[in-house]
Amino acid sequence: MSRRAIFVLLLLIALLLGSAELFARLIVQRHSKVEVMVTREHREALALRPAANGTPKQLLIVGNSFVGMDLDLPTLQQRLAPAWNVHRYWLYNTYYNDWYYGLKRLLAEGSRPDAIAVTFATTSFQISTIRGDYSSYYLFQPRDLLSLESAADLDNTETANLLFARYSRFYGLRSEIRKVLLQSVLHDLPRMYNLFHPPSGTPLKGATVSSAITPRLAALEQLTSRYGVRLLIIVPPLPRPGQEFQPEMRQAAARAGITVVMPYSSHDLPASLYIDDVHLSPEGALKFSETIAPLLADALGATPQPGVDASDFHRDHPQAPVVGIPAALAVQHRP
Amino acid sequence: MLFDSPVFFVFLTAVVGCYWLLNRRQQNVMLLVASYFFYGWWDWRFLGLILLSTIVDFFCARYIARSTNRQKRKLLLTISVSLNLGFLGFFKYFNFFADSLAHALGAVGMPVNIAFLRILLPPGISFYTFQALAYIVDVYFGKLEPAESIVDYALFISFFPHLIAGPIQRPSHLLPQVQSPRRFDSRQFFQGVLLILSGLFRKCVIADNCALLANSAFNGRMGSPTLPVVALGTYAFAWQIYGDFSGYSDIARGAAKLMGFEFMLNFRQPYLATSLQDFWRRWHISLSTWLRDYLYIPLGGSRHGEKRTYRNLMITMLLGGLWHGANWTFVVWGGIHGLGQSIGRFLSRLRPSASDASHPSWLRLWWKRIFIFHIVCLAWIFFRAQSLSYAVSFIRGLSVPAWRPEYAIAFKFLALFSIPLFLLDLLLENRREEYLFENKKVPLQWAYACGLVLAVLLFGANQSNAFIYFQF
């Protein structure tokens, strides 16, 4: 065995790693519907600037799958026009820490919407977990990783992985690539996830939620006000009584001086308007959006517009993605 | 720093890159610093513990070797052994024994309130304690010369590839390697890279994918246990723990080879064993041989009649079980293996001709393999379950037949990620290789390496599963 054999072996490994990175950047990022959407939304969010006199103001809605599934963007856009343009930027499975640091990066990199609406269930503000490597590429700045390590209770290896994922597109995307490949081998794999129930933890107590979310809302408010950006919170309904913590959210938002839009509780919408045990169906999203549009308009100081058929929006914006994701993914991806 | 994380490979590349530029003494100092950095990466506070244990053991061993006074030698041995077992007992077992004592007193009508301590378990403490114990005992019995240099001894204890989860290195095997110069050997280096890739495949592709099913079944996320849930969870865990631990061992052995060290083999196709004795000659070999040499044989081994032999087997396996963790589930796991080995021994003595057959028929061979695999799987349920009562209720699920079409997909998923390892083991068993194509031409090994890299990149699960044995 010669040294040449080792050199060729290491070279082959390096070539494969390089090819994986190129594959992620050139193929996956350009051809995956989800990646195309996230990249475009990220780019658009980054390009937002405060409105000049007489031009529409910019509202950026960020959050997790509730943004994608519980909000009907065309409806909101129609109802808030012409005073406001509505943009969104969302990632599956993301939580408070993802978006606190995500907004920090977005604002630090120059994004200046007039208002930001963070859309989460109350419990998404309470838990400390993050999505992980995937969100690192889009949301985190390397200089924030040490602070994130303690905020999300990560260990050094997990933090180092985030740093790696911040620069390697393949590393951040690898679990998504694996899912697609596995599905091509086992076509009915998404159905397997029907077997898995959400982990049954100890039921949360109101006091726990309140003590966790109060400083977090205050931190979000502090962050956005530093850049002169107005902050709103949109809380979608959940079909699970006892999981909404509405009084706690109202109290925490009031303390932080944030407007919270939370029109429904669990029993206000029929089960038929939910697509699974978390998200609204397209009809539910339409109803929810129609309900919150005047509330948002009121909070933002816009005159609400009467209802317009959302298909007009799609006609005017043919590139705009249709809200909703395949049922298979909806099951895999909790908010 | 998990072995399957990018940061470990950055660290390993830097260490190996510098290593071959230095002379032996510098290499050892550099490796020691790197190993402490590696250990401190988890939690720097535990460095004090390993340092204290290292210093005490080093000096105790030196004075034991120098002294001719039997009493003094015994005292030094007692100090060293007590310190090591004391650390292990306190950090790993304090709450367990306190809880068990409280339960026992409560059961006889003497309820007590015991304050539990919030104790963090230092990573790898069970592994490096066993290495330190082997060293001091070997020196005491004159089987080993004590290390002259504290750097050499400290490196023997804390060399990062084996520090957290073994393989538990025998002082007579590793210490001489630490003390002598290492030469760069292309073949050894090449093998090291292949072993690391093979380990990553076992961990990231096999274990982490099987973990999805095993964790869901054992955490109750598949609902209450039924026959398919128990089967899925148990088989998945069997392949998870095998892929996980053998993968870790391969990476450890491969990393050591990159620096010119040879670690002892830790796994040899354990699920092809034809008896439980055979299983323990193939599974976690570094632990089973340690237990044999430092516990079973000192207890008398098989030298004092059958009854004592069974007793010694049970004691060894029960303590071996407890070594894995502070929970009665591990004790029962060890008990099943001890009992199984005793029964196997008893039966083989009843029918020696049957067990001595060196070439059993194909059917008989596979019957034995399947039977032993299922005994091992039964024991894994106790190993994996959170508590004894959960393990029992999980096993009761075997009597609940229920079927959903999704189970079929889950079984397909399990087959997809367990059959490759099974086939790999069959090939390795037949070819007597450590990794596939080990003895074939280099281009074939290059192709195999590329296949492993691709499999890890494309099918490696991203679950942030720490290696199971890291918690022991």
Distance of CA A125 to the CA centre of its chain: 12
For residues A68 and A236, give the distance between their C-alpha atoms in angstroms, rounded to a whole number: 12
- Is B93 a residue whose pLDDT tops 80? yes
Nearest-CA neighbor of B51 among B150, B145, B161, B160? B150
All residues of chain A having their beta carbon less than 8 Å from the beta carbon of residue B9 are none
* Low-confidence winner among A17-31, A149-163, B116-130, B247-261 (lowest mean pLDDT): B116-130
CA separation (Å) from A108 to A64, A141, A224, A226, B241?
21, 9, 11, 11, 45
Query: When comparing pLDDT for B96 and A272, which is higher?
Result: A272
Q: Helix A3-22 crosses helix B442-459 at what angle (to 10 degrees)?
A: 30
CB contact under 8 A, A1 and B409: no
Which residues are CB-neighbours of B439 under 8 A, at least 6 positions away?
B431, B433
User: Is there a single domain that holds both residue B233 and residue B144?
Assistant: no
All residues of chain B having their beta carbon less than 8 Å from the beta carbon of residue A191 are 405-406, 409
CA separation (Å) from A166 to A157, A173, A211, B11, B372?
14, 11, 31, 19, 47
For residues A206 and A61, give the distance between their C-alpha atoms in angstroms, rounded to a whole number: 26
Q: Does A14 touch chain B (CB under 8 A)?
A: no
User: Is there a single domain that holds both residue B29 and residue B101?
Assistant: yes
- Is A317 a residue whose pLDDT tops 60? no
What is the pLDDT at residue B472? Answer: 57
All residues of chain B having their beta carbon less than 8 Å from the beta carbon of residue A12 are 446, 449-450, 453
CA separation (Å) from A190 to A278, B229, B234, B410?
17, 18, 22, 10
Distance of CA A245 to the CA centre of its chain: 20
> Per-residue pLDDT averaged across A107-112, rounded?
94
From the CA of A207, how many Å to the nearest CA of chain B? 24
* Residue B139 located in a structural domain: yes
User: Is there a single domain that holds both residue B330 and residue B451?
Assistant: yes
Query: When comparing pLDDT for B143 and A303, which is higher?
Result: B143
All residues of chain A having their beta carbon less than 8 Å from the beta carbon of residue B440 are none
The whole-chain average pLDDT of chain A stands at: 84
What is the pLDDT at residue A313? Answer: 38
* Residue B145 located in a structural domain: yes
The tally of domains found in chain B comes to 2
Nearest to B186 among A5, A155, A171 (CB): A5
Catalytic-residue membership of B304: no
Q: Which of B155, B181, B207 is the last residue of a domain?
A: B181
Predicted-complex ipTM score: 0.85
The whole-chain average pLDDT of chain B stands at: 91
Compute the CA torsion angle A22, A24, A30, A31 (nearest 10 deg).
120
What is the pLDDT at residue A331? Answer: 30
Query: When comparing pLDDT for B250 and B361, which is higher?
Result: B250
What is the pLDDT at residue A31? Answer: 86
User: Is there a single domain that holds both residue B146 and residue B39?
Assistant: yes
* Residue B89 located in a structural domain: yes
* Low-confidence winner among A12-26, B59-73, B135-149, B356-370 (lowest mean pLDDT): B356-370
User: Is there a single domain that holds both residue B161 and residue B238?
Assistant: no
| Residue recorded with tokens 């105790």 | B60
Query: When comparing pLDDT for B297 and B43, which is higher?
Result: B297
User: Is there a single domain that holds both residue B268 and residue B340?
Assistant: yes
Which residues are CB-neighbours of B32 under 8 A, at least 6 positions away?
B151, B154, B155, B158
- Is A198 a residue whose pLDDT tops 80? no
With cut-offs at 50, 70 and 90, classify the pLDDT of residue A247.
Answer: confident
Complete domains list, chain A, with CATH: 33-332 (3.40.50.1110)
* Low-confidence winner among B26-30, B181-185, B350-354 (lowest mean pLDDT): B350-354
What does the DSSP assignment read for B406-425? HHHHHHHHHHHHHHHHHHHH
B194: domain range?
A: 187-471
pLDDT tens-place string over residues A215-230: 999 999 999 999 999 9
* Residue B41 located in a structural domain: yes
User: Is there a single domain that holds both residue B286 and residue B138?
Assistant: no
Nearest-CA neighbor of B317 among B298, B302, B342, B335? B335
- Is A309 a residue whose pLDDT tops 60? no
User: Is there a single domain that holds both residue B34 and residue B99?
Assistant: yes
User: Is there a single domain that holds both residue B160 and residue B306?
Assistant: no
CB contact under 8 A, A196 and B221: yes
Nearest-CA neighbor of A149 among A163, A135, A138, A139? A163
| Residue recorded with tokens 């380990």 | B199
Q: Would you call B232 helix, strand, or coil by DSSP?
A: helix
Segments in chain A forming alpha helices (H): 3-22, 29-31, 33-47, 65-70, 73-80, 96-108, 122-126, 133-139, 145-151, 156-167, 169-185, 189-192, 206-226, 246-256, 282-300, 311-316, 327-332
Residue of B324, B337, B359, B374 with catalytic role:
B324
* Residue B392 located in a structural domain: yes
What does the DSSP assignment read for A186-240? STTHHHHGGGPPPP--PPP-HHHHHHHHHHHHHHHHHHHHHTT-EEEEE----SS
Q: Please give the structure tokens belonging to residue A320.
A: 């705009």
User: Is there a single domain that holds both residue B102 and residue B168?
Assistant: yes
What is the pLDDT at residue B437? Answer: 86
- Is A311 a residue whose pLDDT tops 80? no
For residues B84 and B132, give the distance between their C-alpha atoms in angstroms, rounded to a whole number: 8
CB contact under 8 A, A181 and B459: yes
With cut-offs at 50, 70 and 90, classify the pLDDT of residue B315.
Answer: very high
* Residue B11 located in a structural domain: no
What is the pLDDT at residue A330? Answer: 29
Segments in B89-219 forming alpha helices (H): 94-107, 125-140, 150-158, 160-163, 171-179, 186-200, 208-218
Q: Which of B153, B181, B209 is the last residue of a domain?
A: B181
User: Is there a single domain that holds both residue B173 and residue B226?
Assistant: no
User: Is there a single domain that holds both residue B292 and residue B334?
Assistant: yes
Residues of B near A (Cβ–Cβ under 8 Å) read: 1-2, 5-8, 41-42, 186-187, 189-190, 193-194, 197, 216, 219-223, 404-407, 409-410, 412-413, 416, 442, 445-446, 449-450, 453-454, 457-462, 464
* Residue B14 located in a structural domain: no
pLDDT tens-place string over residues B382-423: 999 999 999 999 999 999 998 988 999 999 999 999 999 999
What is the pLDDT at residue B50? Answer: 93
Contact B60, B80 (CB under 8 A): yes
CB contact under 8 A, A1 and B187: yes
Distance of CA A30 to the CA centre of its chain: 20
Q: Which of B165, B181, B197 is the last residue of a domain?
A: B181
For residues B281 and A194, give the distance between their C-alpha atoms in angstroms, rounded to a whole number: 40
* Residue B371 located in a structural domain: yes
What is the pLDDT at residue A201? Answer: 63
